[in-house]
Structure 1
Amino acid sequence: MRMFKRLATIVGALSLVFVLGACGKSSSSSASKSYTPKKLTVQFVPSSNASTIEAKAKPLEGLLKKQLGIPVKVSVSTDYNTIVEAMGSKKVDVGFLPPDAYVLAHKQYNAKVLLKAQRYGYKEPNDQVTNTLVNSYKAQILVRKDSGIKSIKDLKGKKIAVQDTTSSAGWIYPIVELYRHGININKDNIKTVQVKGHDQAVMAVYNGDADAAFVFQGARLLVQKDAKDVMKKVVPIYTTKEIPNDTITVRGDMSSKWDKKISNAFKAIAKTKKGHAIISSVYSHENYVTAKDSDYNAIRSYDKTAKKLNK
Structure 2
Amino acid sequence: MNFKQIAKGFIGIMLLTTLGACTSNKTGNDSEKDKKDELVVQFVPTNNDGSMEAKTKPFANYLSKKLDRDVKVTLATDYSTIVEAMASGQVDVGIMPPAAYVQAKDAHAAEAILTSQLGDYDQETGLPLTDQLTNTFKGEILVRADSDMSKLTDLKGKNIATLSPNSASGYIYPVAELKDAGIDPTADTKMTTVNDIPSEITSVLNKQIDAAFVFEGARNAFASSFPNNDLFKELKVLYLTEGDIPNDAIAVQPNMPSDLKEEIKNVFLNMKDDEDGKEAMSLWGHQGYEQAADSAYDTIREYTTKAAE
TM-score (norm 1): 0.83
Deviation (angstroms), 1:156:
1.3
1:250 and 1:285 map into 2 onto residues whose CA distance is 18
How far apart, CA to CA, are the structure 1 residues paired with 2:115 and 2:100? 13
What residue is the counterpart of 2:122 in the other structure?
A: 123
Corresponding position: 1:292 with 2:293: yes
Which digits, 9 at most, give the CA deviation of each residue in 1:26-66, with x for residues without a partner?
xxxxxxxxxx9521111110222352333333211111111
Contact 2:159–2:192 (Cα < 8 Å) also in 1: yes
Q: CA deviation at 1:239?
A: 0.3
1:212-291 → structure 2 map (5 Å cutoff): 212-225=211-224, 226=226, 227-240=228-241, 241-280=243-282, 282-291=283-292
Q: Distance in 2 between matches of 1:195 and 1:109?
A: 29
Quick check: 1:171 aligned with 2:155?
Answer: no
Where does residue 27 of structure 1 map in the other structure?
Answer: none
Whole-angstrom distance in 1 between the partners of 2:46 and 2:217 = 12
Give the residue type in structure 2 aligned to 1:284: G
1:1-311 equivalence runs, <5 A: 37-49=36-48, 51-130=50-129, 131-188=131-188, 190-225=189-224, 226=226, 227-240=228-241, 241-280=243-282, 282-308=283-309
* 1:30 alignment counterpart: none
On the 8 A contact 1:199/1:219 being kept in 2, the answer is no
Deviation at 1:230, TM superposition (A): 1.3
1:57/1:279 contact within 8 Å kept: no
- Indicate if the aligned counterparts of 1:160 and 1:214 stay in contact, CA closer than 8 A: yes
* Contact 2:46 2:196 (8 Å CA) reproduced: yes
Question: Retained in 1: the 8 A contact 2:127–2:220?
Answer: no
Once residues 37 and 45 of structure 1 are traced to their aligned partners in structure 2, the CA distance between those partners, rounded to angstroms, is 24
Q: Distance in 2 between matches of 1:217 and 1:107?
A: 26
Larger CA deviation: 261-270 vs 77-86 = 261-270
> Distance between the aligned counterparts of 1:151 and 1:59, measured in 2?
43
Distance 1:285 1:253, change over 3 A: same
1:11 match: none
Does structure 1 retain, via aligned residues, the 8 Å contact 2:271–2:288?
no
The answer (yes or no) to whether the contact 2:86–2:109 under 8 Å persists in 1 is no
Cα RMSD of the aligned pairs, angstroms, is 1.6
CA apart distance, 1:201:
1.5
The separation in 1 between residues aligned to 2:186 and 2:258, in whole angstroms, is 43
Q: Deviations over 1:261-292 (max 9, x none)?
A: 11111122232112112312x22110011103
| TM-score for both structures, normalised by structure 2 | 0.83
* Residue aligned with 1:48, SS: coil
Distance in 2, Cα, partners of 1:37 & 1:304? 39
**How far off is 1:228 after superposition?**
3.1
Structure 1 unaligned segments of length 5 or more: list them: 1-35
